[in-house]
Structure formats: C-alpha cells, structure tokens
C-alpha cells in the first residue's frame, strides 16, 4: 500500500514539473512598457564640434621674394606686431640700384638737352633782334636808293628787270639755305643724343650727313654772294659821278644789311629747329619722372621686405603655406590665423533638429572640465556633407569667454530650445531612428510588438515630443531589448 501511494506521489510530482516547464516555455515574455502621455518638455539639442576662432585672418606676402626665415608654427599663439615671416632683401636692393642708375642716366640727358635748348632759345631771341634792326635799315636804304633811282627809271628799266631776275634767284637760294639749315639742326640734335648715349655707329653716320649739308649750305651761300655782286656790277645809266658814288655806297650798305639779315634769319631758323628738336627729345624728362617713381616704389618694396609679414592682431596660427627658402609672389596668402579675442564652435545639425534651432538661442559649452556660456550666432543656408555622407546644416555657436582657448579642441554643446507645454511625449530611450525617420515599438491588440514611425519633435533630458504617429495612452515598449521582440507576442509590464 505504501508503495502504491509513493508511486502516485512521484507521478504527480513529475506531471507537475512537466506542466510547469511547458507553461514556462509556452507563456509570452514579459517586457517593460509605458504609456504615451502629455507633459511639459524643456528641450535641448546636444552636439559635438570643434573650437574655432570667431574671425579668421589671412596674411598675404607684402612683396615678391624669398622667405629667409619662418618664425612661427601652426598652433603657436602670437601677438599683434610679431614678425611671422622674414624676407631676403637682395632683390629689392638690386632694384633700387638699377632704378638709381637709370634715373642718373636719364637726368644727365635731360640736363644736357635743357642746357642746349636754353642756349638756342637765346640765339633765337638775338637773331630776331638782328632781323628787326636789319628790316628797318634795309627799308631806309631802299627808300634812299629809290629816290636816286626815280629820275633815271625809264633809262634803267632793263637793268631793273635783270636785277629782279637775279633777286628772285637769290630768294630761291636763301629758301634752300633755310631748309638745309633746318634739316642740319635736326641732324645735329640727333647727333647730340647719339653722343650722349654713346651710339658710335649712329654718330659716324650723322656726322657724315651733317658735313654734307654744311657743304651744300656753303656752296649756296657762295652763289648768293656772287649774284649779289652781279647786281652791283650792272651798269648804272643816267647818273652823274657824284650820284653814282652815293648810289654805289648805298648799294654796298644794302648788300651788307642783306647779308646780315640773311645770316640772322639762318641763325634764327637753325636755332628754332634745334629748340623744336630738343622739345621732341624731352621725352627723356618724362622718363626721368618715371624713374623717380620707380625708385620710390623700389624703396617702399625694400621697406616692406625688411618689415616682413607681421601679425595684424593677437591670435593663433592655424595654417602656414610657406617654409624657409620658398619663393612667393606679392599678394599670395602665406599665413592663416584666428584672432584670439573671440571663439566659436561649428556644429553639423541633422534635418530633424535644424528646424528647432534659431539664432540667439542660449547654449552651454563644455571643453574638458571647463564650462562656458554661449549662443547660436549663425545658421548656414547651405548644407554640408558629413563623414557618413549625409547632408547637414552648419550652425555656429559663439563662446562667451576671455580665456585663451585651444583652437581645434573638441567641445560638447547643448543648445537650449523653447519650452513646450502640455505636449504628447515618450521617454527618450523608447525612440529609435533609421534612414526612414524616428520610430518606437508598440504592442497591438494581440500584444504583438510592432514598429511604428513617428514625427518626433523636440526633446529634453528625459522625454521626446511626438508630433504625430501616436495617441495618448498608447502602450510603448520601453524594454532595452525591444528591437529583439519585434513581431513577437509579449506580456507588458507597465512602469
């Protein structure tokens, strides 16, 4: 009997154990869950960025030349007026020497031209004075001769006709002399320039041309003198000896005046041609003025090269484009630096968060163990691609501090958004995200875990606003293992 009872007891125990195990394995898993509810949200967005100077500064090469010494390195803190780069000055010193030599040379030519020009102007004035005097004397002599000649006009008609022919020839030859004198003046001016510039081949050529013209002028003047003597030698009829002697004396005086007059005109024309030629050569005066400007510019370039590239303000060197021995062109960037009086953090913000950020919003910045206050200063209207290839908006946050921060250091930034009152929310840990957006895990009427996409709004340290996709009191799976239960039946344990 006792054996039967023991057997029954053992059987009952075994059946109970088997039933309990079956119930354990077949019953749904328990998961923690909460209900979507309405509450106030004190939202913020936490992001990570790098410290930058609030005002980048580019330093440009002040001259073209060679870098003699690089006095700074990237990351170095500098003060306003510090010499960042030194330049070799041989190029600028050579330019000054050349400019001075050129100026001295052109100035010597200008001085020589001005001296000759002044001398020839004086000759023109003197010749004009002589011409005026000769005109008066010539007119007087002509009147006296005409008075003597009027009584014998009819008898001397033939003589006068011959005289007129000879005088016409004389006039033509005088014009030829004047033309040759002008041409000679031009050649002599060119010869003077060639002598100053030591153009030996041109000096020889111009000297030969000048000699040839001088010979022609001399021959023509001889012919003029011969014709004038022929006029004097024409027979004078109808005059008594005393009248003839008086007539002859007047003719001699007239010849002298005519010669002086001709010489004065030739002297004037030659001098005027020389003045004109020197005026044309005074382009060297403009060259000298340009040479002075060139010298001034060369002196300024030396001053710039000697001063080097100087820090325009206190700051931190962020880039250096050149090294010792490098050649640079004037105006090319050589140094990048950040001003040390203000800093900011640049953040890349997703499309889900950017709509909540506005300029002027308060921010808290943490760099290591130091905390700073700040504010959103700019929201770029042009998206950038982050390291994962996603387009994000760049947001700048100014840091309110006078501390000397390290540019490039990582900073944690929390941007405080506007408070939202009485809005539908779920705990932050219940919200997930993928390329399609934000989502949570809920259970349906059969207690099966389902993924549900939502339009997430702002969030604070505990809760995320739900704009759409959920209703108040919907059950949300808050269990950390919720993704593992997707599609499975569970038993919700409400928290």
Q: What is the pLDDT of residue 22?
A: 47
Domain end call among 266, 295, 324: 295
Establish if 12 belongs to a structural domain: no
Nearest in space to 316 (alpha carbons), one of 340, 343, 345? 340
**Are 205 and 269 in the same domain?**
yes
Q: What is the mean pLDDT of residues 181-204?
A: 78
Pair 428, 363 in one domain: no
Question: DSSP readout, 206-249?
Answer: HHHHHHHHHHHHHHHHHHHHHHHHHHHHS---S--HHHHHHHHH
Burial of 353 (0-12, 13-18, 19+ CB in 10 A): buried
Q: 412 and 277 in one domain?
A: no
| Mean pLDDT for the chain overall | 83
Q: In terms of pLDDT, which residue wins out, 310 or 116?
A: 310
Q: Please tell me the predicted confidence (pLDDT) of residue 6.
A: 60
Structure confidence at residue 365 as a pLDDT band (50, 70, 90): very high
Structural domain contains residue 269: yes
Q: Are residues 129 and 198 in the same domain?
A: yes
Both 177 and 269 in a single domain?
yes
Looking at residue 347, which CATH number applies to its domain? 2.40.30.170
Mean pLDDT of the region 13-38: 70
Are 123 and 247 contained in the same domain? Answer: yes
- Same domain as 247, residue 264: yes
Stated length of the chain: 495
Of all residues in the chain, the percent with pLDDT exceeding 90 is 33
* Interval 102-123 mean pLDDT: 81
CATH code of the domain in which 316 resides: 2.40.50.100
Which pLDDT belongs to residue 23?
Answer: 46
Average pLDDT over residues 163-184: 82
Please give the residue range of the domain that contains residue 357.
Answer: 44-54+342-417
Task: Provide the domain count of the chain.
Answer: 4
- Per-residue pLDDT reduced to its tens digit, 49-101: 998 887 888 999 999 989 999 999 988 888 899 999 999 888 888 888 888 88
Q: Which residues pair with 130 in a beta bridge?
A: none
% of the chain at pLDDT higher than 70: 87
- Out of 303, 338, 373, a domain closes at 338
Q: What is the pLDDT of residue 154?
A: 45
Tell which wins on pLDDT, 335 or 154.
Answer: 335
Q: Is residue 17, in this structure, part of any structural domain at all?
A: no
Regarding whether 315 and 267 lie in a shared domain, the answer is: no
- Looking at the structure, tell me whether residues 172 and 319 fall in a common domain: no
Decide if 8 is inside a domain: no
Q: Give pTM, 2 decimals.
A: 0.47
* 319 and 369 both lie in a single domain: no
Who contacts 255 (Cβ-Cβ below 8 Å, separation ≥6)?
228, 232
Residue 284 banded pLDDT, cuts 50, 70, 90? low
Q: Higher pLDDT residue, 130 or 154? A: 130
Mean pLDDT, rounded, for 133-140: 85
pLDDT of 291 over the 70 cut:
yes
Tell me: do 280 and 265 sit in the same domain.
Answer: yes
The answer on 162 and 101 residing in a single domain is yes
2 lies in some domain: no
6 in a structural domain:
no
Select the more confidently predicted residue: 264 or 370: 370
The residue out of 365, 400, 417 marking a domain boundary is 417
Maximum alpha-carbon separation in the chain: 211
Residue 13 lies in a domain: no
In a domain, 234, yes or no: yes
Q: What is the CATH classification number for the domain harbouring 457?
A: 2.40.420.20
Query: For residue 448, what is the DSSP state?
Result: B
């Amino acid at each position: 009997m006792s054996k039967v009872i023991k057997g029954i007891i053992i059987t009952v125990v075994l059946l109970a154990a088997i039933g309990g195990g079956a119930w354990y394995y077949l019953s749904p898993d328990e998961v923690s869950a909460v209900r979507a509810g309405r509450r106030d949200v004190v939202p913020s967005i936490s992001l990570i960025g790098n410290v930058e100077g609030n005002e980048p500064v580019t330093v440009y090469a002040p001259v073209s030349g060679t870098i003699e010494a690089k006095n700074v390195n990237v990351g170095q803190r500098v003060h306003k007026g510090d010499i960042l780069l030194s330049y070799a000055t041989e190029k600028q010193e050579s330019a000054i020497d050349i400019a001075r030599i050129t100026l001295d040379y052109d100035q010597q030519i200008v001085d020589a031209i001005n001296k000759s020009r002044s001398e020839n102007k004086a000759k023109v004035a003197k010749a004009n004075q002589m011409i005026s005097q000769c005109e008066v004397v010539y007119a007087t002599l002509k009147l006296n001769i005409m008075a003597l000649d009027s009584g014998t006009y009819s008898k001397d008609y033939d003589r006068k006709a011959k005289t007129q022919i000879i005088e016409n020839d004389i006039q033509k030859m005088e014009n030829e002399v004047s033309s040759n004198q002008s041409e000679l003046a031009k050649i002599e001016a060119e010869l003077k320039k060639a002598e100053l510039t030591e153009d030996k081949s041109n000096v020889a050529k111009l000297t030969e041309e000048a000699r040839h013209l001088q010979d022609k002028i001399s021959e023509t003047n001889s012919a003029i003198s011969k014709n004038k003597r022929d006029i004097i030698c024409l027979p004078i009829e109808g005059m008594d000896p005393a009248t003839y002697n008086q007539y002859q004396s007047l003719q001699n005086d007239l010849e002298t005046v005519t010669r002086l007059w001709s010489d004065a005109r030739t002297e004037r024309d030659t001098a005027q041609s020389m003045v004109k030629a020197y005026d044309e050569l005074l382009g060297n005066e403009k060259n000298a003025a340009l040479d002075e400007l060139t010298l001034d510019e060369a002196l300024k370039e030396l001053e710039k090269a000697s001063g080097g590239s100087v820090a325009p303000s206190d700051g931190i060197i962020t880039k250096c484009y050149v090294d010792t021995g490098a050649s640079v062109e004037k105006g090319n960037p050589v140094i990048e630096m950040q001003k040390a009086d203000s800093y900011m953090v640049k953040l890349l913000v997703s499309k889900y968060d950017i709509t909540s950020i506005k300029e002027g919003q308060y921010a808290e910045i943490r760099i290591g163990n130091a905390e700073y206050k700040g504010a959103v200063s700019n929201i770029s209207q042009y998206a950038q691609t982050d390291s994962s290839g996603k387009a994000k908006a760049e947001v700048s946050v100014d840091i309110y501090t006078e501390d000397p921060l390290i540019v490039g250091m990582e900073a944690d930034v929390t941007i405080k958004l506007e408070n939202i009152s009485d809005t539908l929310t779920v705990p932050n840990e219940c919200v997930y995200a993928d390329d399609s957006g934000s989502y949570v895990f809920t259970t349906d009427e059969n207690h099966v875990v389902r993924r549900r996409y939502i339009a997430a709004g702002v969030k604070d340290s505990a809760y995320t606003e739900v704009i759409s996709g959920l209703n108040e009191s919907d059950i949300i799976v808050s269990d950390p293992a919720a993704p593992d239960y997707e599609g499975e039946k569970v038993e919700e344990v409400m928290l």
